[in-house]
Amino acid sequence: MLAELVARRKVWEDQAHTVVVGTGAGGATAARVLAASGVDVLMLEEGPRLRTPERPRDVIGALSSTLRDAGTQTTTSAHPIPLLQGVAVGGSTAVNSGIIWRMPEDVREAWVREHGLATLVDPAEMDRIYARIEEDLEVEVTGDEVLGGNATLMRYGAEKLGLPGRAMSRNARRCKGRSECLQGCPGERRQSMDVSYVPAAMADGARLRTHARVDRVWIEGGRAVGVKGFVVDPHSRRPVGRFRVRAKQVIVSAGVVHTPLILMRSGLRGLVGRRFQAHPGAAVVARFPEPVRMSFGATQGYEVPMRDRGFKLESLSLPPEMLAARLPGVGRAWQERVAHLDCYAQWCAQVRMEAKGRVVAGPLWPLVFYEPTERDLDRLQEALVLIARMMFAAGAVEVYLGVDGLPEVLRSERELDELASFRWKRGAIHLIASHLFGTAVAGADPARSVVGPDLQSHRIDGLYVMDASVFPTNMGVNPQHSIMAVVVRAAEQLARRSAGRRAA
Ligand SMILES: Cc1cc2nc3c(=O)[nH]c(=O)nc-3n(C[C@H](O)[C@H](O)[C@H](O)COP(=O)(O)OP(=O)(O)OC[C@H]3O[C@@H](n4cnc5c(N)ncnc54)[C@H](O)[C@@H]3O)c2cc1C
Ligand code: SF4
């Protein structure tokens, strides 16, 4: 206790030309671009830097070492939704499945038309940047040899129903199909930020300090001049010291929930924390008569994009202990199902929800107010019913929707038809959200946005936001590629301006 009090009074200090807060898809990319152009960059990351061999392989260890609150933070609503966010070097990319999608043209057009972001998402520039990221991060289409049984069955089900499926593009060249993306790719095939852009930035001179939780941006005379924060204990994550960093410019990339909180603690108001959006998802499990062998194959390998219906379907393999927890029944019935753990497939739906929510600082932890609309729930139900139909089409003998109040086990499409004919009750579907957007949105009009098309605050000079929180809309596809692309675009412009100022 005494040591903690003494430590709290201790202050480490540092300085850099540019300080970047967070090392996820946004922060690592910004650091990489700026360091490559000769800017003196300091990256501050609240979580640890876990080298691949140090990462726990068991699920509980993996969740508690790399996910914020071990994945237990939920939205505050009648329909609480767990929000998954990485807290480690690499941010959420350290735990993601590597799925890569360019921004759909209708989303780009809406950003230009409704938010004045023509320069940010200039089509020729975006094409150039996407191509460069795809080369840097070794993007390739998942090959048949590593699709595995789970994704291959999904392809079969989609083909039988005539749905527009395809093998996923992922930033994992020569993926070995070990199905452990959540725990960190054992062979570092998947190019998450911790094994790609963070080390690349460091090779170009950027520095990294971990266990450094930024509390607020240091502002003097209407200009960002650094950040202040707490050193956190690696195990308890409680503050054990303080730090402050002087800088000429600050880039906040702490993710959709924590970026607005840092901005609010720094005195920014208005739309900060508002316009939170997401792609919440749910999964369906099915039993097949023959072994599926979910433990082999890309963690996620096959997808059925249904953008016109507002959702996307994906294969999603689970570690055995999580799969066992997902099986219905008790006693002998459950034991019998667990004895056939090799015979299950799991496919999930990500819904492009129209609901908008809000992030605010709670007394103990952040509160995220978010309530799916009736239309969102209709889309979700339609998506889950379609997954179940694909499963029966692929030969499933039992389908487990996992919806509270409905039969736990379906054995025929006729049973499914009956359930599909009425609206399932709100809160009955177990949702989870890992694609988050908004809360510090970009736009040309300061009355309708927090940052401008260059991602600089409308109010505070030298303060930039570069992560998914600048997205004015969700997208209906996996976001990491577009987060990186938008950040490259803004960081390249910033690097040019920084070089000009250094030369002057
Ligand atoms: C399990 C999972 C699977 C996913 N799968 C895919 C996929 O396959 N394809 C895809 O496109 N997207 C996927 N996503 C989503 C994608 O990873 C995220 O959208 C993306 O990483 C968000 O980037 P970001 O920079 O906004 O935030 P993050 O990547 O979350 O980075 C934020 C960083 O800021 C740090 N931070 C937060 N607060 C502070 C503070 N106060 N001080 C210092 N540091 C702080 C965090 O520790 C973290 O490192 C997945 C996400 C999850 C969780
Ligand atoms: S599926 Fe396995 S080998 Fe492939 S990228 Fe993920 S962890 Fe790496």
Average pLDDT, consecutive stretches of 10 residues, N- to C-terminus, the chain (504 residues): 57 96 98 98 97 87 89 89 96 97 98 98 98 98 97 98 98 92 91 97 98 98 97 91 97 98 97 98 97 95 97 95 92 94 97 98 94 96 98 98 96 96 92 97 98 98 98 98 98 89 62
CA of 60 to the centre of ligand 1 (A): 19
Task: Report if residue 358 sits inside a domain.
Answer: no
Task: Report if residue 312 sits inside a domain.
Answer: yes
Same domain, 304 and 226: no
Task: Report if residue 200 sits inside a domain.
Answer: yes
pLDDT at 77: 87
pLDDT at 502: 63
- The pLDDT tens digits of the residues spanning 37-78 come to 999 999 999 999 998 888 888 888 888 889 999 888 999 988
Q: Which helix (H) or strand (E) holds 223?
A: strand 223-232
SS3 305: strand
181 lines ligand 2 (CB under 6 A): yes
**DSSP letters spanning 248-280:** EEEEE-SHHHHHHHHHHHTT--TTTTEEEEE--
Task: Report if residue 415 sits inside a domain.
Answer: yes
86 lines ligand 1 (CB under 6 A): yes
Same domain, 304 and 398: yes
Tell me the CATH number at 238.
Answer: 3.50.50.60
Task: Report if residue 79 sits inside a domain.
Answer: no
Task: Report if residue 434 sits inside a domain.
Answer: no
Rounded CA separation 302/33 (Å): 32
CA of 181 to the centre of ligand 1 (A): 14
Same domain, 267 and 286: no
Q: How many domains does the chain have?
A: 2
C-beta of residue 311 within 8 angstroms of C-beta of residue 379: yes
180 lines ligand 2 (CB under 6 A): yes
449 lines ligand 2 (CB under 6 A): no
Q: How far is CA 162 from CA 59, 150, 156, 450, in A?
A: 36, 18, 10, 44
Picking from 388, 384, 408, the residue whose alpha carbon sits closest to that of residue 328 is: 408
Task: Report if residue 31 sits inside a domain.
Answer: yes
Please measure the distance between the N-terminal and C-terminal CA atoms of the chain and give it in whole angstroms.
50
Rounded CA separation 393/366 (Å): 43
Same domain, 407 and 444: no
Same domain, 267 and 131: yes
List alpha helices for 342-469, DSSP H. Answer: 374-393, 413-420
Block residue for tokens 């008569």:
289
Same domain, 30 and 166: no
pLDDT at 504: 57
The pick from 142, 176, 296 for probing ligand 2's pocket by mutation, whose C-beta has the most ligand atoms within 8 angstroms, reads 176
Question: How crowded is the C-beta side of 371, counted as CA atoms within 13 Å?
Answer: 5
Same domain, 30 and 91: yes
pLDDT at 11: 83
185 lines ligand 2 (CB under 6 A): yes
Q: Which ligand is nearest to the CA of 297?
A: 2
253 lines ligand 1 (CB under 6 A): yes
Same domain, 121 and 24: yes
Task: Decide if 435 is catalytic.
Answer: yes
299 lines ligand 2 (CB under 6 A): yes
Same domain, 263 and 285: no
Residues ≥6 apart with Cβ < 8 Å to 152: 144, 297, 302
C-beta of residue 291 within 8 angstroms of C-beta of residue 378: no
Q: Which ligand is nearest to the CA of 230?
A: 1
- The pLDDT tens digits of the residues spanning 290-322 come to 999 999 999 999 999 999 999 999 999 998 889
Question: How crowded is the C-beta side of 293, counted as CA atoms within 13 Å?
Answer: 10
Give the length of the chain. Answer: 504
Same domain, 105 and 125: yes
Catalytic pick among 211, 435, 458, 481: 435
Task: Report if residue 364 sits inside a domain.
Answer: no
Range of the domain at 239: 2-67+86-96+101-136+192-275+439-503
Rounded CA separation 486/316 (Å): 27
SS3 487: helix
Same domain, 344 and 416: yes
Q: Which ligand is nearest to the CA of 151?
A: 2
C-beta of residue 254 within 8 angstroms of C-beta of residue 68: no
C-beta of residue 253 within 8 angstroms of C-beta of residue 467: yes
pLDDT at 246: 98
The pick from 99, 175, 296, 316 for probing ligand 2's pocket by mutation, whose C-beta has the most ligand atoms within 8 angstroms, reads 175
Same domain, 498 and 388: no
Tell me the CATH number at 340.
Answer: 3.30.410
Please give the structure tokens belonging to residue 33.
């671009």
CA of 255 to the centre of ligand 1 (A): 6
Picking from 196, 241, 249, the residue whose alpha carbon sits closest to that of residue 15 is: 249
